[in-house]
Amino acid sequence: MARPKIALIGAGQIGGTLAHLAALKELGDVVLFDISEGTPEGKALDIAESGPSEGFDAKLKGTQDYADIAGADVCIVTAGVPRKPGMSRDDLLGINLKVMKSVGEGIRDNAPDAFVICITNPLDAMVWALREFSGLPHQKVCGMAGVLDSARFRHFLSLEFDVSMKDVTGFVLGGHGDTMVPLIRYSTVGGIPLPDLVKMGWTSQDKLDAIVQRTRDGGAEIVGLLKTGSAFYAPATSAIEMAESYLKDQKRLLPCAAWCDGQFGLKGMYVGVPTIIGENGIERIVDIQLNKDEQAMFDKSVDAVKGLVEACKGIDDSLA
Ligand code: APR
């Protein structure tokens, strides 16, 4: 049986890490596409040359030609520009919107059956635009944010409790921005919800509030340290987790930017929600009940995403 084909659109920091992880995990053959001549070819060759030592079987190819992504089972999109210190994700809107147009058309014409995961920021607006430009079914186009935001939340919680990250679950909803909503009530250590751990004296509400804020600022913290770009290891790992769930029909429950039409009371928009990812793409949105405070935070986040989508429509008439 032929190996699955994974197309990575954008061969920068995240794209290269995605290719490395996909090869190490033997998820399939990898095509790296980028407009920067030599970058995808160089990274593909470099990773392929690690194969004998790592012992993986995967073909890697770098290209500037969309025809090479033909028949891809998964496309992961990181094409665009990352932020620099002092920039918000929203500052990238105008430039990355143009990139989504060419990428969306490239996927539409060459890999219309793929499951598409967008990583390019500002995430929720870019995944919406990518879906519009590509015309693919909504359940086959999603955005990676919630897995990363939850992973950051889980990491910080594991430090606070001095327990293994494996035993910490975390739940982050909403847009991938300053208004994201880490849900304390649904986050646990070994199944014990965080509010119970406060009652048990394991931590205080103030400390939890600080962790929530650090999670919201998680991307900016890395940008501030790196100075020349944004995070790439954890974003790549998060998207690979989603791709693997699709390719292996694992039906993982993963938070991601998904098309909500009715769920969470939303009328047709992309925002971060819990989903089930399996062979059909986003197979289900887990429409949990929010309490009053959570709903207020979620509404604020939804409004921020709506504002960005309107801004996209203002920039590109074909989206209006
Ligand atoms: N088509 C294909 N590739 C493109 C295009 C395009 N139209 N425009 C830019 N690129 C490529 C660049 O040549 C570069 O190699 O996208 C790549 C982006 O890589 P980096 O600059 O290293 O950025 P990275 O850290 O990988 O982040 C990519 O993900 O998390 C988000 O905010 C981040 O939007 C950014 C994206």
CATH number reported for the structural domain that contains residue 285 in this entry: 3.90.110.10
Structural domain count, the chain: 2
**296 CB within 6 A, ligand 1:** no
C-alpha 164 to ligand 1 mean position (Å): 33
Residue 86 has pLDDT above 90, yes or no: no
Mean pLDDT score, 292-315: 94
Distance CA 16, CA 252 (A): 25
Same domain for 139 and 181? no
Pick the last residue of a domain from 144, 173, 200. Answer: 144
Nearest-CA neighbor of 123 among 40, 230, 19, 226? 230
Distance CA 55, CA 232 (A): 24
Pick the last residue of a domain from 109, 144, 179. Answer: 144
Q: Which atom of ligand 1 is nearest to the CA of 229?
A: 25
Residue nearest to atom 15 of ligand 1 (CA): 12
Nearest-CA neighbor of 184 among 94, 86, 294? 294
Cβ atoms within 10 Å, residue 119:
28
Same domain for 140 and 170? no
In a domain, 306, yes or no: yes
Mean pLDDT score, 294-320: 94
pLDDT tens track for 4-29: 999 999 999 999 999 999 999 999 99
Nearest-CA neighbor of 94 among 311, 291, 243? 311
**69 CB within 6 A, ligand 1:** no
| Torsion, CA 258, CA 234, CA 33, CA 116, rounded to 10 | -20
Nearest-CA neighbor of 120 among 99, 141, 106? 99
Mean pLDDT score, 58-73: 98
Residue 90 has pLDDT above 90, yes or no: no
Encoded tokens for 72? 């891809």
Looking only at the bridges linking them, the beta strands covering 168-169 and 188-189 are antiparallel
The interface pTM score, or ipTM, of the predicted complex is: 0.99
155 catalytic per annotation? no
Q: Please state the pTM of the whole predicted model.
A: 0.97
Mean pLDDT score, 295-301: 94
- What pLDDT, on a 0 to 100 scale, did the predictor assign at position 35? 97
Contact 273, 258 (CB under 8 A): yes
C-alpha 197 to ligand 1 mean position (Å): 41
Distance CA 98, CA 126 (A): 10
Distance CA 117, CA 119 (A): 7
> Which strands sit side by side in the sheet containing 141-143, from one edge to the other?
60-63, 29-33, 5-9, 74-77, 115-118, 141-143, 252-261, 267-278, 281-285
Same domain for 171 and 140? no
Residue 150 has pLDDT above 90, yes or no: yes
pLDDT band at 33 (very low <50, low <70, confident <90, very high): very high
**266 CB within 6 A, ligand 1:** no
C-alpha 10 to ligand 1 mean position (Å): 5
C-alpha 298 to ligand 1 mean position (Å): 29
pLDDT band at 196 (very low <50, low <70, confident <90, very high): very high
- What pLDDT, on a 0 to 100 scale, did the predictor assign at position 240? 98
DSSP H helices, 135-258, are 146-161, 194-199, 205-216, 218-226, 233-247
Mean pLDDT score, 107-112: 98
Mean pLDDT score, 187-213: 97
Range of the domain at 33: 5-144
Q: Position of tokens 């094409």?
A: 79
> Which strands sit side by side in the sheet containing 168-169, from one edge to the other?
168-169, 188-189, 192-193
Residue nearest to atom 28 of ligand 1 (CA): 78
On average, the pLDDT of the chain sits at: 96
Residues 6+ apart with CB under 8 A from 192: 200
Pick the last residue of a domain from 89, 124, 144. Answer: 144
Question: Residue 103 belongs to a domain with what CATH number?
Answer: 3.40.50.720
**15 CB within 6 A, ligand 1:** yes
Which DSSP symbol is given to 64?
S
In a domain, 70, yes or no: yes
